[in-house]
Structure 1
Amino acid sequence: MSTARYLALIDLLRAQEFPAQRRRSATGFSGPGYHTAQLSAADELEDADAAQRLEMREQCVAEYEALLAVLGGKWGEPQVFSLWSVLERSILGDEIPAPWDELSAGFDLVHIWRADGRWVAVGLAGENEAPSYELLAVVTEVDPP
């Protein structure tokens, strides 16, 4: 998928109402106060050889960086929001609201912007030596914890 398609999808999610209950959507999951969109992902890269894994990872990182640059041009510099403490609080029993609870389970950090009363978060999981990766966008009215 191209950066233009990612932007179109994020704008579509920003314009949609949030459902009353959590449900699967064409792009990911939606629930009270949020939508998620899996922009790009590869699971089980261990079946690929080292060169293929490196190429796939580099492509995903390039897509991520391009998206961050375009969104930064649109809304300014993002906040870099570490999810480590959110995950730790969740493990210790604190109730973390969706979608931040799910994000903290799979992402170390996200870049976030506040746009028209909603948060837009973009994250990349598995960026280093992981055998898989995921590029995700979230649109939410739920403030980061």
Structure 2
Amino acid sequence: MTSALYLATILRLCSEDFPAEDSRSDVGTGGLGYHIAELATSEEFWEDDGTAREKTEEQYEADRDGLSELLTPRWGRPQVFSLASVFDRSMDGEDIAEPWGILSSHVPDVHLWKAEAHGRWVALGVSQWDKELPFQLLAVVTEIDPP
């Protein structure tokens, strides 16, 4: 996908109804009150010495930052929101509303906007579940306030 397609996907999800239950969609997953779009997914890193992984992580962060620049004229500068404390709270047994609970387990921070015209939050993040697994550029559209 290109930046134009990423942007079109995010804007479409801003006006699309949320699914009534957790499910897959044409661009990722969703649930009651949220969509998570998997904009890009890298290769896995099972045989990597770390070099390709580092370069891929840098590229995905650059892609997130570039997409953030495209969204800034629409919604202003993003807030960089760390999910580390959210993850810690979930590990301590606190029930964190989705999509924030699951995101905090594999996305360290997000670029976050309140899309007032849609009444929804929009977040961009770079995900990696484990060092051997792929990176993903994710876009989240939700009506659930960040914790």
Output the TM-score relative to the length of structure 1. 0.88
SS at match of 2:111: strand
Q: Counterpart of 2:110 in structure 1: which amino acid?
A: V
SS at match of 1:106: coil
TM-superposition CA deviations, 1:14-72 (whole Å, max 9, x none): 11111111111111111110001001112413446877556544443332221011111
Tell me which residue corresponds to 1:35. Answer: 35
> 1:65-104 alignment to 2 at 5 Å?
65-104=65-104
Shift in alpha-carbon separation, 1:56–1:109, aligned structure 2, 3 A: closer
Select 2:137's aligned residue among 135, 139, 144. Answer: 135
Q: Percent identity?
A: 46
Q: Counterpart of 1:144 in structure 2: which amino acid?
A: P
Q: Counterpart of 2:139 in structure 1: which amino acid?
A: A
Tell me which residue corresponds to 1:13. Answer: 13
Higher helix share: 1
Provide the rounded CA distance (Å) in 2 between the counterparts of 1:143 and 1:51: 37
Provide the rounded CA distance (Å) in 2 between the counterparts of 1:23 and 1:33: 12
Pairwise CA RMSD of aligned residues?
Answer: 1.9
Gaps of 5+ in 1: none
Tell me which residue corresponds to 2:60. Answer: 60
Gaps of 5+ in 2: none
Shift in alpha-carbon separation, 1:105–1:55, aligned structure 2, 3 A: closer
What is the Cα deviation at residue 94 of structure 1? 0.5
Provide the aligned length of Structure 1 versus Structure 2.
142
